[in-house]
Chains A and B, each alone.
Chain A
């Protein structure tokens, strides 16, 4: 094209703009269940700051959030609650399964736990660890941001 845009004008596609907005202001829903919840809180706290990615507000209501970090072990009694909270989140929504217990049932391969939260909700990112340190969780979150920006996860 012969015309050049002036310096204070940004040109992009609507899709890319939408993806950029979604990544940079993702609000997590607080679904902290067990030990991983403490590490999730530590990730949001001052030392490993999630606020630099715009994510320090953990919305209490699932209707106002777009990311659900399932942090902890999901028991048989909690599984319907988990599904209900997931269903209450508006699109686009993503799920990070944090920790070994959420991803696969962890060290508790028994009657009481759902062996992997992906039997109940669709999961986008699995973060291993028992519990995963804040750095691992942040790596998981940033990987999710990356995938959304590149368009690999279109939700």
Chain B
């Protein structure tokens, strides 16, 4: 491959560790053939502050450090094996699987309308996006279109979810780097959005609200006031984050030029979402391959330049502002009509009708015991989740349960960028880099 990007030596070799000098007590002592200069340094007669980047250091001096799986800054149960040379990281190997829940196997046991409960727990910070990808895939197989009101409700909920997910990302990003107030700010502002979710779907998280055929229920009366309140309150709070972080010399020093990924590396590794856009590549599925009627709304795509942690933080802040714009447009133009498709073979009848009509009772019974059968076929549908391209590959063989349900998890791919972003950087930057990639381990391990 002539166009192969320069990808640094990624340690993907197996679990065997490289040959290291055996550490015993003797290795700790100053050896006799230590050079004069090094002895001077160790005795403090001379201070060399470029020692950290000393490329003449022996390979024997490399140390393997294990970070995680239980660690306050790894964003869940991520384990990293880091080969260190002093403070510099030479190679990294992420080890995942500590949250593997067998969701794809469970997906084959649940029928198509129950599938949402399973899928929503994968990326637990953006549950609506999971449900949307799954529902779009099922609807594609069924060959049905949702009514415009359902599509608009879906856009409203997913954009609100994007805001709440980015708030968590900013909160944990700030806390990991040291701005602990960010954690409090982020979660405080999220509470208002979660209260709206609870009013609409009944749950603060993991809603199972977006189902194949539309949404589970209509928006509650007075939803416009709630959304207007959120829209009024958030920009002022975003200003608070800016006051705390933007132009803050500590924040700048810890985020600018840290965890750099180039555009070629990002595309080669299948990285999408804010991480890809931070390198300058203009790719947002909402603009390129729109879904659920999102092309009717006007919004910009935030782009970065350098591919560092600062750019990703900035993009997330900008994406919150853009999502608020979309939410305002949806609120103003929400169409009237059905919130789910009218096909009684797919959508359960309204509860009141069950007492009146025999047919409605039979439909309800069949739908909730057996489930509807989906014609055989396979499809792949992708949406833009706060972490990147969230796709659902669904194979059906004509039964009431998926034959194979696979989720293309954005964090799974974004984690492959970690060895690249962390190579030849300092140990202290690891935390900032991981936080900026925003991995959600439920998504990674499924």
A35 x B121 contact (CB < 8 A): yes
Interface positions, chain A 72-91, Cβ under 8 Å from B, are 72-73, 75-78, 81, 85
Complex interface: chain A residues within 8 A of B183 (CB)? 41, 45
Contacts of B187 in A (CB 8 A): 41-42, 45-47
Interface residues of A, CB < 8 Å — how many? 34
Instruction: Encode A12-43 as 1/0 by CB contact (under 8 A) with B.
Output: 00000000000000000011111101110110
B441 near A34 with CB under 8 A, answer yes
Contacts of B103 in A (CB 8 A): 108
- The yes or no answer to B184 lying at the interface (CB within 8 A) is yes
Whether B117 and A35, one on each chain, are in contact in the complex, defined by CB atoms closer than 8 angstroms, is no
Instruction: Give a binary string over A48-79; 1 marks a CB under 8 Å from any B CB, 0 the rest.
Output: 00000000001010100000000011011110
Asked if residues B206 and A112 are in contact (CB atoms below 8 Å), the reply is no
Q: Does B97 contact A (CB under 8 A)?
A: yes
How far is the CB of B290 from the nearest CB of chain A, in Å?
29
Closest to A112 in B: B102
The reply to whether B124 and A73 contact each other, CB–CB distance below 8 Å, is no
Give complex CA distance A33, B70 in Å.
9
- Give the chain B neighbours of A107 by CB distance below 8 A: 106, 117-118
- Contact status A30-B72, CB under 8 Å: yes
Q: Which residues of B contact A30 (CB under 8 A)?
A: 70, 72
User: B80: shortest Cβ distance to chain A, in Å?
Assistant: 14
A33-B77 Cα distance, complex, nearest whole Å:
6
Which B residues between 412 and 446 are near A, CB-CB below 8 angstroms? 441-442, 445
Answer yes or no: B341 CB below 8 A from chain A CBs: no
- Name the contact of B105 in the complex, choosing from A37, A60, A110 (C-beta under 8 A): A110
Interface assignment of A116: CB less than 8 Å from any CB of chain B? no
Find chain B residues with CB under 8 A from A133 CB: 204
Q: Among B72, B106, B206, which residue has its beta carbon within 8 angstroms of that of A131?
A: B206
How many interface contacts (CB-CB < 8 Å) are there between A and B?
A: 93
Residue of A33, A62, A111 most packed against chain B (CB within 10 A): A33
Say yes or no: A38-B99 contact (C-beta < 8 A), given A33-B76, A60-B71. no
Measured in the bound complex, the distance between the Cα atoms of B117 and A130 in whole Å is: 11
List B contacts of A149 (CB < 8 A).
none
Interface string of B65-107 (1 = CB under 8 A from A): 0000111100011000000000000000000011111110110
Closest residue to B188 on the A side, CB-wise?
A46
Q: How far is the CB of A141 from chain B (nearest CB, A)?
A: 18
| Contact of B312 with A by CB under 8 A | no
Q: Kindly identify which residue among B101, B188, B206 contacts A73, using a CB–CB cutoff of 8 Å.
A: B101
CB <8 Å contact, A78 and B77: yes
Q: Are B124 and A35 in contact (CB under 8 A)?
A: yes
Q: Which of B125, B184, B206 has a CB less than 8 Å from the CB of A45?
A: B184
Q: Which residues of A contact B204 (CB under 8 A)?
A: 39, 131, 133
Across the two chains, which residue of chain B brings its CB closest to A73?
Answer: B101
Query: A38 to B188, Cβ gap below 8 A?
Result: no
Instruction: Report the bound CA distance from A112 to B183 in whole Å.
Output: 32
Instruction: Check A111 against B105 for contact (C-beta < 8 Å).
Output: yes
Closest 3 CB pairs of A and B: A45-B187, A112-B102, A35-B124
30 pairs from A and B in contact (CB 8 Å cutoff): A32-B76, A33-B76, A33-B441, A34-B101, A34-B121, A35-B442, A37-B76, A38-B124, A38-B205, A45-B188, A46-B184, A47-B188, A58-B72, A73-B99, A73-B101, A75-B98, A75-B445, A76-B100, A78-B69, A78-B98, A107-B117, A108-B102, A108-B106, A110-B101, A110-B102, A111-B102, A113-B101, A131-B205, A131-B206, A133-B204
List B residues at the A interface (Cβ < 8 Å): 69-72, 76-77, 97-103, 105-106, 117-118, 121, 124-125, 168, 183-184, 187-188, 190-191, 194, 204-206, 441-442, 445
Known: A41-B183, A75-B98. 6 other contacts (CB 8 A): A35-B205, A45-B188, A47-B191, A72-B99, A107-B117, A107-B118
Q: Which residues of A contact B (CB under 8 A)?
A: 30-35, 37-39, 41-42, 45-47, 58, 60, 62, 72-73, 75-78, 81, 85, 107-108, 110-113, 130-131, 133
